[in-house]
């Protein structure tokens, strides 16, 4: 199975900050990675697909980059509604596996 | 718009089985595969399996082989996830999520809480 190592596990930041979250795959997954936002009691919402493509309707302050084994999600200027948990998902091969999640909290 | 509507919360005793449904709307049901994913309390996400609604072919995570059965009813655009021999560790929120031509997963159902307790 492909292991996805996500960091950091938690992050405190302020409105307006730029934040970056990283996922590393234990083997190459090309661009088979998505980034998701999850708020308490809600289903995950996809932000980025194919590593760097912005999901329709998602604000442009979210961006993704990377290919192969290292990937990043960047939020360019945090807004109050962005405080949530974020996780990556690889679908290059079965079983699909997930990063452990990053809890983004207000400083 | 594309929507996945899941059945309601369940409480089961250890050793029992549970079936969760996922009704799709807003798209051609047979065109896209459907995944099942679960999230135990305070834990990460775990992929369980996938079904091709067109022919009913399934692929399961090794961990769930023998306990998981995913089926579909094309007449009602509904996918079903049955997990048997339940244990307390199966207490989790279970999600269905649509595949998009080999690109998992969007959107997700709202989730169904399954509680296993004696």
The predicted-structure confidence for A8-42, as pLDDT tens digits, reads as follows 999 999 999 999 999 999 999 999 999 999 999 99
Distance CA A35, CA A52 (A): 9
How far, in Å, are A55, B32, B90 from residue B14 at the CA level? 40, 33, 9
Answer yes or no: is pLDDT of B98 > 90. yes
Q: What is the pLDDT of residue B102?
A: 77
Query: What confidence tier does A107 reach under pLDDT thresholds 50, 70, 90?
Result: confident
Minimal Cα distance from A89: which residue of B? B104
At residue B75 the predicted structure's pLDDT band, cuts being 50, 70 and 90, is very high
- Asked if the Cβ–Cβ distance from B95 to A96 is below 8 Å, we say no
> Looking at CA atoms only, how far is residue B24 from chain A in angstroms?
15
φ and ψ at residue A19, rounded to 5 degrees: -130, 150
For chain A, state the CA radius of gyration: 13
Q: What is the pLDDT of residue A1?
A: 95
Q: Where are the beta strands (DSSP E) in chain B?
A: 3-6, 10-12, 18-25, 34-39, 45-51, 58-60, 68-73, 78-83, 92-99, 104-108, 112-116
The average pLDDT across A72-96 equals 96
Residue B100: predicted pLDDT:
81
Query: What's residue A89's pLDDT?
Result: 97
For B49, residues 6+ apart whose C-beta sits below 8 A from its C-beta are B35, B36, B58, B59, B60, B61, B64, B68, B70, B81
Tens-place pLDDT, residues A45-61 = 999 999 999 999 999 99
B9-44: pLDDT as tens digits: 999 999 999 999 999 999 999 999 999 999 999 888
Mean pLDDT of chain A: 96
A40 touching B, CB under 8 A?
no
Q: Which of B44, B60, B109 to mutate to test the interface with A (most CBs of A within 10 A)?
A: B44
């Amino acid at each position: 199975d492909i292991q996805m190592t996500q960091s950091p596990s938690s992050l405190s930041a302020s409105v307006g900050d730029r934040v970056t979250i990283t996922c590393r795959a234990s083997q190459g997954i090309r661009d088979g990675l998505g980034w998701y936002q999850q708020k308490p009691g809600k289903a995950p919402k996809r932000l980025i697909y194919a590593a760097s493509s912005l999901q329709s309707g998602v604000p442009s302050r979210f961006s993704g980059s990377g290919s192969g084994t290292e990937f990043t999600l960047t939020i360019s200027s945090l807004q109050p509604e962005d405080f949530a948990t974020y996780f990556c998902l690889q679908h290059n091969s079965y079983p699909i596996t997930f990063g452990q999640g990053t809890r983004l909290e207000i400083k | 718009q594309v929507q996945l509507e899941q059945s309601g919360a369940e409480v089961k005793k250890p050793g029992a089985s549970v079936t969760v449904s996922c009704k799709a709307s807003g798209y051609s049901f047979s065109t896209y595969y459907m995944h099942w994913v679960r999230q135990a309390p305070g834990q990460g996400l775990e992929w369980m399996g996938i079904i091709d609604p067109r022919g009913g072919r399934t692929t399961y995570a090794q961990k769930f082989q023998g306990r998981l059965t995913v089926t579909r009813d094309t007449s009602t655009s509904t996918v079903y996830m049955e997990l048997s021999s339940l244990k307390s560790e199966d207490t989790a929120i279970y999600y269905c999520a649509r595949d998009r031509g080999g690109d998992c997963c969007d959107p997700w159902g709202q989730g169904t809480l399954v509680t296993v307790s004696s």
